[in-house]
C-alpha cells in the first residue's frame, strides 16, 4: 500500500522500489499493481531482498520508508545501517520506533 501511495506522489518522473524478503509477497503486490492500474504505477519496481543486505549501491535513494519491515528483522541496528547506506548524502531526518 505504501508503494502505491508513493507512486502517486512521485508521479511518472519518479521511481518507487518495493523490497521484500518474500517472493510470494512481491507476487501479490505485482498482481495488485495490475488490478489497480494507474499510469503512475508503471514507476513501481518489485525487488526481492534482505533488509540486512539491501541489493542497492551506496547513496542510491532520495528517500526510504518502511512499513512493517523493522518488526520482522532480527538485527534492527543493521537494518538501519543499511537504510542509511542506500540513502543519498544530506538526508538527515530519520524517525524510528522499535
In the chain, domain spans: 1-49, 52-98
pLDDT-based confidence at residue 39 (cuts at 50, 70, 90) = confident
Model pTM score: 0.81
Query: What value does the mean pLDDT of the chain take?
Result: 87
The rounded distance, in Å, linking the Cα atoms of 41 and 35 is: 11
The rounded distance, in Å, linking the Cα atoms of 54 and 72 is: 15
**What three-state secondary structure class fits 60?**
coil
The rounded distance, in Å, linking the Cα atoms of 43 and 3 is: 10
User: What pLDDT is attached to residue 36?
Assistant: 76
User: What pLDDT is attached to residue 77?
Assistant: 95
Distances (CA, A) of 74 to 31, 85, 87, 98: 29, 18, 21, 11
- What grid cell was written down for 54? 539491501
Please, are residues 61 and 88 in contact by the beta-carbon 8 Å criterion?
Answer: yes
Distances (CA, A) of 31 to 63, 74, 79: 25, 29, 27
Amino acid at each position: 500500500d505504501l508503494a502505491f501511495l508513493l507512486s502517486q506522489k512521485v508521479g511518472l518522473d519518479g521511481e518507487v522500489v518495493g523490497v521484500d524478503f518474500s517472493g510470494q509477497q512481491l507476487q501479490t503486490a505485482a498482481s495488485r499493481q495490475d488490478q489497480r492500474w494507474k499510469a503512475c504505477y508503471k514507476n513501481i519496481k518489485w525487488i526481492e531482498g534482505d533488509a540486512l543486505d539491501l541489493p542497492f549501491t551506496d547513496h542510491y535513494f532520495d528517500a526510504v520508508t518502511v512499513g512493517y519491515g523493522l518488526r520482522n528483522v532480527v538485527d534492527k541496528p543493521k537494518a538501519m545501517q543499511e537504510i542509511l547506506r542506500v540513502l543519498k548524502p544530506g538526508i538527515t531526518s530519520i524517525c524510528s520506533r522499535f
